[in-house]
Amino acid sequence: MAQIDGARSMSAPRNTFRASQRLQGNGAFKRVIDGRARIDCGAISFHAIPRDAAVARTNDLTRMGISIGRRAGGAAVRNRFKRLLREAFRLSQHEHPTAAPAPYDLMVIVRAHDELTLAQYRAHLLDALQRLHAIWMKRMHRKINASDADARAAMPSATPSTTTPDAPDSPRAH
């Protein structure tokens, strides 16, 4: 990164992985998994849910949580998987899709597998996020269409009936 007089260049986005970008706590993990949007890429499962627009700030990015069971290997192996996944996430964070008007909360569940390269983890991550984004856009589109159909069904008919007995111009009123 080029620096001028100690200041960071404003043209390049920051590729940090701050605490605010981490999913933390069982409640957050459960909420994402309960969203029932899941993509499997081999031994890695990706779950995502759009974050509540009221809670998310406009400059927020996707948040990620990682769960790796002990069956995946010893502590050193599990930590290596986590480091590689966090690095893949960090490097690609500005390429992640967002559900308008808020970003996603992403949960990554890792099972035992042979270690992949950073590029492979990044490719799996971006592919899964694109596919999860398509799932949520389809769900939101269905929800909007369903609410439009409900609104149309609740509207009174635009053409008045001419056969009502109360109407003075009705043929039965004479």
pLDDT digits (tens, 9 = 90+) for 94-139: 888 876 667 899 999 999 999 999 999 999 999 999 999 999 999 9
Q: What is the pTM of this model?
A: 0.72
Q: Which whole-number Å values give the CA distances from 168 to 32, 85, 157, 161, in the listed order?
A: 60, 75, 20, 12
State residue 45 phi and psi, 5-degree precision. Answer: -110, 135
Pairing state between β 3-4 and 7-8: antiparallel
Residue 73 forms part of a structural domain: yes
- Residue 65 CA to residue 23 CA, distance in Å, equals 5
Which residues are bridge partners to 49 per DSSP?
105
The enclosing domain of 124 has a CATH number of 3.30.230.10
Q: How many domains does the chain have?
A: 1
Q: Give the three-state DSSP class for 128.
A: helix
Domain extent at residue 72: 23-137
